[in-house]
Structure 1
Amino acid sequence: MSNRIVECVPNFSEGRHAETVGALVEAVRSVPDVYLLDQTMDPDHHRAVLTLAGLPDAVAEAACRVTKAATDRIDLSRHGGEHPRVGATDVIPFVPIRGVTMQDCVTLARQVGQRIGNELGIPVFLYERAAVRSQRVQLEVIRQGGLRNLAERMATDPDWVPDFGPRVPHPTAGTTVVGARLPLIAFNVNLEAEDPEVAHDIARAIRFSSGGLPSLKAIGVSLASRHLVQVSMNLTNFEETPVHVAFDAVKREAARRAVRVAGSEVVGLIPEQAVQRSSEFFRTMERFDPSFVLEHRLQMAMKSD
């Protein structure tokens, strides 16, 4: 394996049908020089996340193949889940890991976005470092109001013409957002409550856009199957807001509302530096395993090749 490694973390609007996620996994595994490092699915969020890494061109090919597989199998018009979404293949970020630059990932993102638009007829919006329009840098701005709202903007606002593909959503796959970014940590804290407003209020209190912690995005969701609610967070810069600081903020806001924390989880993989930054927290975290560390998982995958 080359010393040039790119990570890709595609998110799909499917978390309830294992056979569908299995088909996505097989699409990734069909490409040489790509390692599938992790896969998760959640029925309440109705979302699946795959983590793959490998040679840049191979990872780009895998991203295109898995998007095709999702387009063939996921009907967004029948979708009902807690997580915000605008597409069957909702978002495809590329992340530089080793021997590649952010600009390399920007180039990959734009190439993949163009292929998805041209070959699959899906509108594509570029975001984060790959964005070519300032209003599309933030993923939450693109997804604001869901697919229906985005479709209205696409049809009526010249500033929201897709970067690639048609100007109307695909009838079953919707749209896809593709970009390049730094490593992101998806971190959730579950609360012993059933009223989703509790989680919404706490998310609003701690996220940066509402005056909270820097580099922290948060939403509140209901985990109906578990009779809990959840503060679902993305930490876009763990140096500015480490995992333990985010956890303490949720715990503090929950205590103010007389709500207990039921547990926490990292979704997908986490950079080793982030674990070191919050080492005491991870030593006591339930269900945390060193194999969740990105570098460890990649090393093990390459050894077994």
Structure 2
Amino acid sequence: MSQQTLGRIALLECWLLLQKDKKKTIDQSVLLCCKLFISESRNRAVLDAIEQAARLNPETVIVSKFEDQAYNRTWYTLVSYVVQDITGRAIYSPLQQAVLAMVEAAFGAINLELHSGTYPRLGVVDEILFHPLARASLDDAAWLAKAVAADIANQFQVPVFLYDAANPTGKALDTIRRELGYFRPNSMGNQWAGRTLPDMLLENPDDGPSEVSRARGITMIGACPWIALYNIPILSTDLSVSARGGGLPTVQTLGLVHGDSTEIACMLLEPNQIGVHRVQNRVEMLAAEEGVEVEKGYFTDFSQERIIEKYMNLSSAQRD
């Protein structure tokens, strides 16, 4: 019997045990959060199909969604519990099957060769990121990231690159993206259109084939502590302004044309150390030196506390 079959049997046995005392399991659970980034935001029917796939699993909750038509990109925030064995090792989470259902729906409805937008991407399912919440650990998040990576690689024959805690060496997301040419536009100077990857990857992925599907591309999957996503609009479409130096430590930025302005997409890797006020002030100072106005930035997701609160409220409503 194959390892994959044994794994599915173990998951089924765990699920059956959970059904006997579901209320107790949920009350005592630790929580994992998944941010799922899809290369589509303009086709409502496609997004409806992806969301409907997630709703087939009532123990996983979509707590938020951020759509951006200029970027042609949508990201979902999902939460569910994770079950650990007596040693504290993660062995099951409903989040795994919910994410896979959404991935399957996305692959079935989106063709990367036909995709365009101002946000760079390498795949239909461009990125999947897992965070520990409440009493979950980073090891729990890394376990789920690697489990989902194996499923996507095996079921859909898509190359998967792992990053941060999910990667054996802790390789960073931006490093992998740079190696794969993620930051190089392929049309009109600031647009990403069609696919950008070769048919065969020069570097072996962490999971899956080296051959790249023209329709699906590749997927990046990682696990890390909580990060904050914060966008700052600059009233200029001159991307050279957004390329100014002087960045803050533990803050990664990407300047992208967004309609008649430019947005600085910020990832705050340690938001408790360097927060949005410091980032906002830094961008305003650099823009002022160029004579450019800056608008107040905005978060693209809720805080950890708000996400946990929404999950608890929505999951309670579903059980009732």
The answer as to whether partners of 2:42 and 2:69 remain within 8 angstroms in 1 is yes
TM-score (norm: length of structure 2): 0.79
Higher alpha-carbon deviation: 71-80 or 140-149: 140-149
- Which structure has the larger Rg? 2
4+ aligned runs moved over 6 Å, structure 1: none
Q: Tell me which amino acid in the other structure corresponds to 1:304.
A: A
The answer as to whether partners of 2:197 and 2:217 remain within 8 angstroms in 1 is no
Cα distance in 2 for residues equivalent to 1:95 and 1:86: 22
| 1:221-232 alignment, distance < 5 Å | 221-224=256-259, 227-232=260-265
Shift of 1:300: 2.8
Pick the structure with more helix per residue: 1
The answer as to whether partners of 2:133 and 2:304 remain within 8 angstroms in 1 is no
Aligned residues: 269
Q: Tell me which amino acid in the other structure corresponds to 2:311.
A: L
1:99 alignment partner in structure 2: 135
| 1:1-305 alignment, distance < 5 Å | 1-2=26-27, 3-56=29-82, 57-133=93-169, 137-144=171-178, 145-146=181-182, 151=198, 155-156=201-202, 160-201=203-244, 205-206=245-246, 212-224=247-259, 227-272=260-305, 293-305=306-318
The answer as to whether partners of 2:201 and 2:212 remain within 8 angstroms in 1 is no
Shift of 1:32: 2.5
Cα distance in 1 for residues equivalent to 2:41 and 2:296: 21
Q: What secondary structure sits across from 2:296 in the alignment?
A: strand
TM-score (norm: length of structure 1): 0.83
Cα distance in 2 for residues equivalent to 1:111 and 1:299: 25
Identity of aligned residues (%): 26
Q: Tell me which amino acid in the other structure corresponds to 2:37.
A: N
The answer as to whether partners of 1:91 and 1:178 remain within 8 angstroms in 2 is yes
The answer as to whether partners of 1:219 and 1:231 remain within 8 angstroms in 2 is yes
1:289 alignment partner in structure 2: none
Shift of 1:235: 0.6
Q: Tell me which amino acid in the other structure corresponds to 1:198.
A: V
